[in-house]
Chain A
Amino acid sequence: MSSAEPSPEHSRRDFLYIATGAVAAVGVAGALWPLVSQMNPDASTIAAGAPIEVDLTPIAEGQVIKVFWRSKPIFINHRTKKQIEDAQNVDVPKLPDPQPDSARVKAGHDQWQVLIAICTHLGCIPLADEGPYDGYFCPCHGSVYDTSGRIRQGPAPLNLALPPYEFVSDTKIRIG
C-alpha cells in the first residue's frame, strides 16, 4: 500500500486503534451506567424508608405487635419474665446459630424484643407466640424459633434478624 512499512511491534495505527477503543469503552460505560442505576431505589422510595418512631406504652406485657419499616414487617415483643428466662437459660454453643440473648436485646431493656419478622428460610412471616418454645413458628416449612427469635428446629439457617434500632427514651424506640 504505502511505501513505508509499519514497524513489526508498534505502529501509529495500533496506537490509534487502542486509544480509540479505550475512549469508546469509557463512553459506553458512561452511557450504560444510568441505564443500570435507574433500577436502584429512587429518591422517593429512599425518603419513604426514613427511620420511624414507635411508642411502646400501649404494648402490654406478653403482647406482640407488628410494624412496617422499609416495607419489612417487624415484631415488637413485650416479653414476660418467663419468656426472658427461657431465652437466657440456654446452652448457647449447642444452638444451630449460636447467639446469647444479651446480644439480641438492648442493655437494660431485656423485656423488649425487636425482630425482623421474616423467616430466614424462604421469607414467610412467622407466627408469634407459637411453637414448642412459645417463641415463633413459621407455618410454611415448620421452622421453630425460641423466645429470643433464635432458630431451634426446621430448615431455617439463621436466627431472626434484628433491625437497626435504639431507645430514644424508656418508652420509645426509633427503628432505622
Chain B
Amino acid sequence: MSGPLSYQPKSPIMQWLERRLPIGGLIYSSFVVYPTPRNLNYWWTFGGILTFMLGVQIVTGIVLAMHYTAHVDFAFNSVEQIMRDVNYGWLLRYVHANGASMFFLAAYIHMFRGLYYGSYKEPREVLWILGVILLLLMIMTGFMGYVLPWGQMSYWAATVITNLFSAIPLVGESVVTWLWGGYAVGNPTLNRFYALHYLLPFVIAGVVVLHVWALHVAGQNNPDGIEPVTEHDTVAFTPYATIKDSFLMVVFCILLAWFVFYIPNFLGHPDNYIPANPSVTPTHIVPEWYYLPFYAILRAIPNKLLGVTALAASIAVLAFVPWLDTSNVRSARYRPLYRQFFWVFVIVCIGLGWLGSKPPEGNYVLFARIFTLYYFAFFFIILPVLGKVERTKPVPSSIAQAVLREGTAIGAPAPAPSKTRA
C-alpha cells in the first residue's frame, strides 16, 4: 500500500533531474506516500478544493484581463463586450463570478471544519493563523474584483467600504483620500483596484504554499483529534486521499456548473447591471452574500468607530482561537457540550448573513445585535470557559483503534470464527 518513503526514480531522466532539483522527490513525499490519517472524512477534502478553485479563479481572471479595460469610461462596456462578443466570454465571466462565490463557500466550510475538530490547536496554531491571513486576502481580492465591472453596486460598495477607514481617529480622512487617489471613488481608484486585484491572488498562492508547508510539518488533524502513532493509523496519500479529494472536487464542480449554466446571476445583485452613477445611491446597498455576516455585525453597532472596530474584530478574533480554546480534547466528537454551542454558532453565522441582506431597521437590527453578541461570546466566553468545565467523552487510544474497533481491518485476513463475540 505505501511505497518506500524516499523517492527512487526508475527512469534515467528523473534520476538526472532528482540530483539537480529534487522536485520529483518533493511531490512523492508530499502527495504520494505522505502518511494520511486513515479516518479522514469528506470535510477534509475542502483544502484541495480551495487550491483548485484558486487555480480556476487565476486562469479565468487572466483570460478576462485580456479583454477588460480598467477606465471609468470603458469598464462597464468592456465587461458587456466580454459577455456578448468575446468567444465564450459569457462562460469565462460567469465562471469567474460564481467561482468567487464557490471559493468563499469552500473556505467557510473549511474553517468550520477547523473549528469543529480543533484543527487550530497545538501544534497547528501557525497553520490556522496562515489560514486567517488567507481569508483576509480573499476578502480584499473579492471586494476589489467586484468594483471592476463599475456597476452601481461596484461603485457604491467601493464608496461605503473605503469610507469605513474614515472612522480611524485623526488620520481617517487622509487615509480615505489616499485610498481613493482623489476626492471620491473615481478612475484612480478603479485603476489601482485592478492592479491589486491582479496581484493579490498570487500573494494568496504564496501564502497557500506556506499553509501547506505548515500542514505537512505538523501533519493533518483528523476527526478523532488524536495524533497518529503507528503506521496502522495512516494510509498513503495516493491513492486514498487523492481519490477522495478528486471525487468531492467533481461534485463541487457540478455545483459550480449548476450556477454557471442555469442561474448565473442568482447570487449577484441586478443593480450591478446599471452603469455606475456617482449622483444616485441605490436604495439598498448590499455586498455579495459572502460578506453579509460581517456587514450585519458592522451595522448592528450604532456607533461608527465601534462598528468598524467590531467588523475588524470579527475577523481578527479568529487568529486568537488557538489560545482562546482551553480544552485538552481536540475534536468536538468527544466534546458533547461544545458541539451544541458550535452548531448554534453556525446558525448564528448563517443568521447574520441573512440579516445582512435586510434593511437595518426594526427587529432585523435587534436580532443582528443578539447574534453579534453570541458571535463574540462564542470566542471570548464559551471557548475559554468550556475547556475548563466541560466533561469530555473518553478519547480513543489510537486512530486505528477508533476506526477498526467495530470489525476487521481492511486487507487483514478474516478472523477465525470464535464462539464468543469479539
Contact = CB atoms under 8 A, between A and B. Distances in A.
B84 interface: yes
A33 B91 CA distance: 12
Contacts of B86: 38, 42-43
B92 interface: yes
A38 B88 contact: yes
B59 interface: yes
A1 B411 contact: yes
Contact of B63 (A1, A35, A42): A35
A43 B59 contact: no
Nearest to B59: A35
Interface in B79-132: 81, 84-89, 91-92
A33 B63 CA distance: 12
A34 B87 contact: yes
B411 A38 contact: no
A37 interface: yes
B66 interface: yes
B85 A42 contact: yes
Given A34-B92, A38-B92, A44 B81 contact: yes
Interface in A52-81: none
B411 A44 contact: no
B284 interface: no
A135 to B, nearest CB: 40
A39 interface: yes
A42 B88 CA distance: 9
B67 interface: yes
Chain A interface, >50% SS class? helix
B63 A38 contact: yes
Contacts of B59: 35
Interface string A7-23: 00000000000000000
B84 A38 contact: no
Interface string B55-82: 0000100010011000000000000010
A62 B385 CA distance: 97
A40 interface: yes
B84 A34 contact: no
A78 to B, nearest CB: 38
A71 B85 CA distance: 19
Contacts of A1: 411
Given A1-B411, A34-B87, A35-B63, A42 B81 contact: yes
A38 B89 CA distance: 7
A42 B67 CA distance: 10
Interface string A123-142: 00000000000000000000
A34 B67 contact: no
Nearest to A35: B63
A40 B87 contact: yes
A129 B67 CA distance: 40
A45 B84 CA distance: 12
B385 to A, nearest CB: 50
B87 A38 contact: yes
Contacts of A34: 87-88, 91-92
Contacts of B66: 38-39
A35 B64 CA distance: 10
Contacts of A37: 87-88
B153 to A, nearest CB: 26
Contacts of A45: 85
A74 B166 CA distance: 58
Given A34-B92, A35-B59, A42 B411 contact: no
Contacts of B67: 38, 42
A19 to B, nearest CB: 15
B99 to A, nearest CB: 13
A172 B290 CA distance: 61
A20 to B, nearest CB: 10
Contacts of A39: 63, 66
A34 B66 CA distance: 14
Given A38-B63, A38-B92, A43 B411 contact: no
A34 B260 CA distance: 14
Contacts of B89: 38, 42
A42 B63 CA distance: 13
Contact of A43 (B85, B91, B92): B85
A38 B67 CA distance: 9
Contacts of A43: 84-87
A113 B411 CA distance: 83
Nearest to A32: B59
Closest 6 interchain pairs by CB?
Answer: A34-B88, A43-B85, A42-B85, A44-B85, A42-B86, A37-B87
10 contacts: A34-B87, A38-B63, A38-B86, A38-B92, A42-B85, A42-B86, A43-B86, A43-B87, A44-B81, A44-B85
Given A1-B411, A34-B91, A43-B87, 12 more contacts: A33-B88, A34-B87, A34-B92, A35-B63, A35-B92, A38-B63, A38-B67, A38-B86, A38-B89, A42-B86, A43-B84, A45-B85
